[in-house]
Structure 1
């Protein structure tokens, strides 16, 4: 996802310019702005929420809500938790295995060894009598009609290639997943900040549109009065009415964009909220210098580096998986048939070793597969570094351009306001036409809207620069400390 966009021209329709600045994350997040009273509800115009109906939050509070209860952040954390289970699974290679089994067997052919009957049979054939019948043992039951068996076994690995070589890769994989979740959190916070600031910009543009509507209504009333007095023609009244309609159309468009962003911001932070007033102090972002190479410290680059380390460990395991596995086994047995031992219980102590000689080529296939994955991870790591640096350079350039654009837009807004006052005074004195007055009103509205959009864009570029360094969440965590 490309998180940087070029600043739009201040001379375009300003509502479209603002959407262009927000478009990369418009599908992820949007938010409600401080509402202000309109002069009159127009048909088809979405009404702004009344003050107090929504929870008003600052930008820092909106970001904190997204971290705490945002569904996208929760999903990233859950994915990281799933990957962390792989480390616990790797440690199972050293953990013992304990099993307990039991059986009850009923047979229709019980087996018994009767040596006394055998001696009598031999003696009867050869007509011999046993010299000492007491030495003949009693019958021995090999398998009774109903038999019970039980076995308890514990197996403790003493050496296993998986336990030696796979714990490190599993740990690196879990760390990569955690860093990936933190990167996803950064992207969500960037979306929240862009949407929040965009809403504040739209709110200020709506103020300019309302002021333009008020001015157009005033011009309309003046044209009506002059027309009734015979001092002007109907063209002036029609022009004033067209300007009123145009201002209401702009206000309706901005209101629709506001409602869309408001719904998306609520989806990001987990509850309906609206931005604080524009005069609220701006957030302080932790922005490092170029000398620190901040693009190397982003969560995406660090996660890619951990992925390379994990894949290197898997390749090492594949190369040494031929080593033998050694285990100590203790087994206890119960047999309801005493047999020749005369005992129903016994135990066995076993030292077992196994070495794979040839496993149908599966080890070699796994080695080739993991080597390919290692090459892929290395390429992704280099790509992540390059993209992170490019994002940092672009964000810094966009910030500098936005600062220059804001200075120009504010100067133009001040100039347009003075020109409007001068033309209005000249019109009242009869030395300016209604067309010149209409042009001055339009230019002031465009300049005021451009300045509002430029201010919102500048704040967005600042948070983008912090996001390019992976410092949005860090700035949020340091804000309470700075307050103390």
Structure 2
């Protein structure tokens, strides 16, 4: 998930402000417009105020997206246990109760008497004739217990390694998803802090505009100003309130997004400098190679290699030992109701309608695909690192310039205000100075938030957001 477009919309209000609709023309007799209706926001104190570190910690524990990624990794990890089943025994127990309308038996005495009657030959030793043997009584009970233990199977030899590699790739994929969620939390959190600073600048601009409006009204009442001065002051007030309403809407939107990412409604604490907070490795260490996405792609290549190896040796025979115990309530000729037998079975597939060759071609294609994806993941990770580093350097230069411009605009506003009171500056010059100060203050706030966002992006490009969080937690003093 990449909510960067929301962040950029939240951190780029200056263009929208410059193109905001003109304020309605008011006559001097009209009262100033009522304060704008801002987007409904939670009342102060109803949301939990957290720092960025606390927000990231909560997201790791409660974020629905992180939980979904972990569940998906758990599903894939079951494949390791499934691979082990190739070596585990199979035990079955079955039983039957059969009721028959007629008893089946073998009566040799009746057969002898029949032969003797036909040939008129009486038996000489009738005591040697056995009793009738019951083959199936009216009510018969049968039971079988069987255990089959594989001794050798190609699946057990060659598929265990690919299953472990696939499970590790899924775990790394879940960690990469967690890293992206934490990056989204950091972006949204820092974007909210930047919007909060811009709202402070907008409130200050509103207060200045209201003061200008009151001064213009007083001067108009005593005949020291014309109606244009009051109209300009009222336009400044309306524009400041429009800007404040826009920023309030962006803040409410980002608050909702932050709550969805974190897993509970929270609001950010004031902006703090986090330059030394992130664990940023040097470029000599090739940190992009250690990202979870690259490592997951490498494990996927390993898993597909193992599957191809299995396909090439799946023709090997499978050997299993089978022990079976039987119970029959009809003793039959053996005179025993319980018997057992032991079997050593070997199965060798000679030709399975070509399925093995089809599977081999499919797995070879997947192996080639995974290799290409691995190279692509490495290239993307390197590009992300280079871009994040360049963006950080650019934003650091921008924030210095923006803060200098904000300080200069504040001094210019003070000088123009003093000149206006002395009567050597016009209200139009005051309006221009006020606007420039607000834009400079908003630009500085945006630049400060952008620097922190770029640092978070650089940490994410090295896969170190969660690692930085864990390091900070380990350095915290134990209570």
The structural deviation recorded for 1:3 is: 8.4
The structural deviation recorded for 1:249 is: 0.2
CA contact (8 A) 2:4 2:184 kept: no
- Structure-to-structure mapping, 1:454-469, within 5 angstroms: 454-469=447-462
The structural deviation recorded for 1:145 is: 2.2
Separation (CA, whole Å) in 1 of partners of 2:117 and 2:344: 50
Separation (CA, whole Å) in 2 of partners of 1:41 and 1:371: 71
Secondary structure of the equivalent of 2:85?
Answer: helix
Q: 1:102 aligns with which of 95, 99, 109?
A: 95
Structure 1 residues 8 and 458: alpha-carbon distance in aligned structure 2, compared to 1, 3 A threshold: same
Structure 1 residues 3 and 234: alpha-carbon distance in aligned structure 2, compared to 1, 3 A threshold: closer
Separation (CA, whole Å) in 1 of partners of 2:8 and 2:40: 28
- Structure-to-structure mapping, 1:21-60, within 5 angstroms: 42-60=35-53
Separation (CA, whole Å) in 2 of partners of 1:192 and 1:283: 19
Q: Is there any run of 5+ residues in structure 2 with no aligned partner, and where?
A: 18-32
Separation (CA, whole Å) in 1 of partners of 2:34 and 2:218: 25
- Structure-to-structure mapping, 1:73-472, within 5 angstroms: 73-279=66-272, 284-472=277-465
Which deviations, in whole Å up to 9, do the C-alpha atoms of 1:433-475 show, x marking residues without a partner?
A: 1111110000000000000000011100000000000100000
Separation (CA, whole Å) in 1 of partners of 2:244 and 2:305: 58
Separation (CA, whole Å) in 2 of partners of 1:58 and 1:282: 15
Secondary structure of the equivalent of 1:93?
Answer: coil
CA contact (8 A) 2:93 2:144 kept: yes
Separation (CA, whole Å) in 2 of partners of 1:380 and 1:16: 40
Secondary structure of the equivalent of 1:94?
Answer: coil
Q: Is there any run of 5+ residues in structure 1 with no aligned partner, and where?
A: 18-39
CA contact (8 A) 1:60 1:283 kept: no
Secondary structure of the equivalent of 1:284?
Answer: coil
**TM-score normalised by length of structure 1:** 0.92
Separation (CA, whole Å) in 2 of partners of 1:48 and 1:109: 86
The structural deviation recorded for 1:105 is: 1.7
| Cross-structure match for 2:61 | 68
Secondary structure of the equivalent of 1:262?
Answer: helix
The structural deviation recorded for 1:480 is: 2.0
Q: How many residues align?
A: 460
1:477 paired with 2:470, answer yes
Structure 1 residues 267 and 145: alpha-carbon distance in aligned structure 2, compared to 1, 3 A threshold: same
The structural deviation recorded for 1:125 is: 1.9
Secondary structure of the equivalent of 2:130?
Answer: coil
Secondary structure of the equivalent of 1:138?
Answer: coil
Structure 1 residues 236 and 419: alpha-carbon distance in aligned structure 2, compared to 1, 3 A threshold: same
Separation (CA, whole Å) in 2 of partners of 1:233 and 1:362: 93
Separation (CA, whole Å) in 2 of partners of 1:377 and 1:139: 72
Which deviations, in whole Å up to 9, do the C-alpha atoms of 1:310-345 show, x marking residues without a partner?
A: 010001000000000000111000111111101110
Structure 1 residues 341 and 15: alpha-carbon distance in aligned structure 2, compared to 1, 3 A threshold: farther
CA contact (8 A) 1:195 1:261 kept: yes
1:14 paired with 2:14, answer yes
CA contact (8 A) 1:112 1:141 kept: yes
| Cross-structure match for 1:33 | none
**TM-score normalised by length of structure 2:** 0.93
| Cross-structure match for 2:22 | none
Q: After superposing the two structures, state which structure 1 stretch, 274-283 or 369-378, moved more.
A: 274-283
Which deviations, in whole Å up to 9, do the C-alpha atoms of 1:175-212 show, x marking residues without a partner?
A: 00000000000000000000000000000000000000
| RMSD of aligned residue pairs (Cα, Å) | 2.0
| Cross-structure match for 1:25 | none
CA contact (8 A) 2:190 2:271 kept: no
CA contact (8 A) 1:423 1:432 kept: yes
Secondary structure of the equivalent of 2:86?
Answer: helix
